[in-house]
């Protein structure tokens, strides 16, 4: 039994040593970056980024913990504004401070994590015009301390954070372009679900059969805020209503 315990202990020590060696080989800095093209001018996008109060409309982390505590400080928006959060293990706790805000061009943020681990990152948003409208780039950079290096042995930081960046940018795009959600699609975080479930296309009334009055359209069912979407330009298509079929009432645009 004693020999078995010594073997197990030896294996554990070897495994820990191997992880540390791999971690020490990781780079001292990291960078996560994602971008998306939005069909709008920068003046329509910038206000949603420079004002932390607006982040509830598009940030991928805002609805992960319904009980998350938020507080704001410093300036109301732009340079000098601050945002603090404290939530469950999925969102942790931390603080963001806007260090620079160049209208319609760039926002720079200092991001301090408090839990589940401490760390500091720099977050940048850059907006540049393109043929479609505006290209928005979301970048996060920081130092790779030893705990972060060890964590990166078991998970890919670029994949994990990058996926959330993609969700956030897609939410931002939908908010700015005022994309109307089709039945079954998730609404923007913090936005009320819009009715819009159309009656089945092509369901013709049978001769002599009375139509049922008072049948209510069903509201959309929101998917969880953390569901990943692919970054990119999503084109909303509408199916034409066949002749004789009831036309669904269009939901009012969200502002």
Binning pLDDT at 50, 70 and 90, where does residue 147 land? low
Q: What is the pTM of this model?
A: 0.62
The predicted structure's pLDDT at residue 179: 66
Three-state SS sequence of 132-176: CCEEEEEEEEEECCHHHHHHHHHCCHHHHHHHHHHHHHHHHHHHH
Task: Please provide the average confidence, as pLDDT, over all residues in the chain.
Answer: 74
Cβ-based neighbour number of residue 32 at 10 Å = 20
Answer with the residue of higher pLDDT: 6 or 47: 47
Cβ-based neighbour number of residue 189 at 10 Å = 22
How confident is the model over 82-95, as pLDDT tens digits?
A: 999 999 988 999 99
The predicted structure's pLDDT at residue 193: 39
Average pLDDT over residues 28-50: 94
The predicted structure's pLDDT at residue 196: 42
Look up residue 228 and give its two tokens.
């990943």
User: Where does residue 81 rank: exposed (0-12), middle (13-18), buried (19+ CB within 10 A)?
Assistant: buried
Distance of alpha carbon 239 from the chain centroid: 28
The predicted structure's pLDDT at residue 223: 38
CB 94 within 8 A of CB 114: yes
Average pLDDT over residues 51-77: 94
Delineate the domains of the chain, giving CATH numbers in brackets: 30-141+156-177 (3.30.530.20)
CB 40 within 8 A of CB 133: yes
Binning pLDDT at 50, 70 and 90, where does residue 221 land? very low
Lowest-confidence pick of 32-46, 96-110, 179-193: 179-193
How confident is the model over 3-21, as pLDDT tens digits?
A: 777 777 777 877 777 767 7
Average pLDDT over residues 42-48: 97
């Amino acid at each position: 039994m004693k020999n078995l315990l010594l073997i197990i202990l030896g294996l554990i020590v070897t495994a820990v040593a191997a992880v540390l060696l791999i971690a020490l080989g990781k780079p001292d800095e990291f960078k996560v970056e994602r971008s998306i093209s939005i069909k709008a001018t920068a003046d329509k996008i910038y206000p949603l980024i420079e004002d932390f109060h607006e982040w509830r409309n598009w940030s991928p982390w805002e609805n992960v913990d319904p009980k998350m505590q938020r507080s704001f400080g410093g300036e109301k928006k732009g340079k000098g504004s601050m945002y603090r959060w404290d939530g469950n293990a999925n969102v942790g706790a931390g603080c963001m401070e806007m260090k620079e805000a160049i209208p319609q061009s760039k926002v720079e943020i200092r991001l301090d994590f408090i839990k589940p681990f401490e760390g500091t990152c720099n977050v940048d948003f850059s907006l540049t015009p393109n043929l479609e409208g505006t290209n928005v780039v979301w970048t996060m950079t920081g130092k790779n301390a030893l705990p972060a290096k060890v964590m990166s042995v078991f998970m890919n930081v670029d994949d994990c954070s990058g996926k959330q960046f993609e969700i956030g940018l897609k939410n931002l795009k939908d908010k700015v372009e005022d994309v109307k959600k089709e039945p079954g699609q998730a609404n923007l975080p913090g936005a009320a679900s819009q009715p819009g479930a159309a009656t089945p296309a092509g369901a013709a009334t049978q001769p002599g059969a009375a139509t049922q009055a008072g049948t209510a359209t069903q509201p959309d069912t929101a998917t969880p805020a953390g569901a990943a979407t692919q970054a990119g330009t999503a084109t909303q298509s509408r199916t034409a209503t066949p002749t004789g079929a009831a036309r669904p009432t269009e939901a009012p645009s969200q502002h």
